[in-house]
Chains A and B, each alone.
Chain A
């Protein structure tokens, strides 16, 4: 059973637009929610992360919105740029320390 459902699988956004990627989970034992960015042929790079005691976290153009009751969290990329074109993964962490990853969203930002 898939522990985290990420959507959409792919996303095309115009330069300057807002990219929104969503993740939903079932198990409330998770208490750490990072987002990773991966370029082709590279390892995932930590972008931003949130814990369930806050509902929103912003770092530059990247914002995580977290809805604990709905068990959903999302990544918003404001003023999207062609250099943001990559695959984005949400992940879930818990006391066991391993991360459970979503299936990924391939973002393309058109100039």
Chain B
């Protein structure tokens, strides 16, 4: 049973470019969460999605960031016009039903903005 998969594992972008991060949840999981981790810090919630719906995006910056979880395919976190401050590790987690239960994390995508 494959765990949460994220790709790419490492992503380098220049300022102003777009970054697309993908997350495939565990089999049978329909709830996806995105978190950001700055170096030497804890994880910060960004957005919570179910298939085709954004449930909670209270932790996501209002500009340049967007997320989707289409009916088919992985969840995508998209960062437009990246800036150096976007450099971080971005983790995706999934859970079966989202009711105060365990969230299982992927290996993360480490974004570096030059």
Among the listed stretches B64-72, B80-88, B100-108, which one makes contact with chain A, having 4 or more residues with CB under 8 Å of it? B100-108
Identify the closest chain B residue to A9 (Cβ).
Answer: B40
CA distance A32 to B100 in the complex (A): 6
Q: Do B56 and A96 have beta carbons less than 8 Å apart? A: yes
Which of A51, A97, A103 is close to B56, meaning CB atoms less than 8 Å apart?
A97
Q: List A contacts of B31 (CB < 8 A).
A: 97
Q: Do B107 and A99 have beta carbons less than 8 Å apart? A: no
Q: How many interface residues does chain B have, given as a range?
A: 20 to 34
Q: List B contacts of A93 (CB < 8 A).
A: 100
Q: Do B100 and A44 have beta carbons less than 8 Å apart? A: no
State how many angstroms separate the Cβ of A75 from the closest Cβ of chain B.
15
For B75-114 the 0/1 string (1 means CB < 8 A from A) is: 0000000000000000101010011111111111000000
Q: Do A97 and B105 have beta carbons less than 8 Å apart? A: no
Query: Is A43 on the interface with B (CB-CB < 8 A)?
Result: yes
CA distance A44 to B36 in the complex (A): 12
Q: List B contacts of A100 (CB < 8 A).
A: 45
State how many angstroms separate the Cβ of B59 from the closest Cβ of chain A.
7
CA distance A34 to B103 in the complex (A): 9
Query: Is B55 on the interface with A (CB-CB < 8 A)?
Result: yes
Q: Do B91 and A97 have beta carbons less than 8 Å apart? A: no
The 5 closest A-B pairs by CB, nearest first: A101-B42, A43-B105, A98-B45, A32-B100, A101-B43
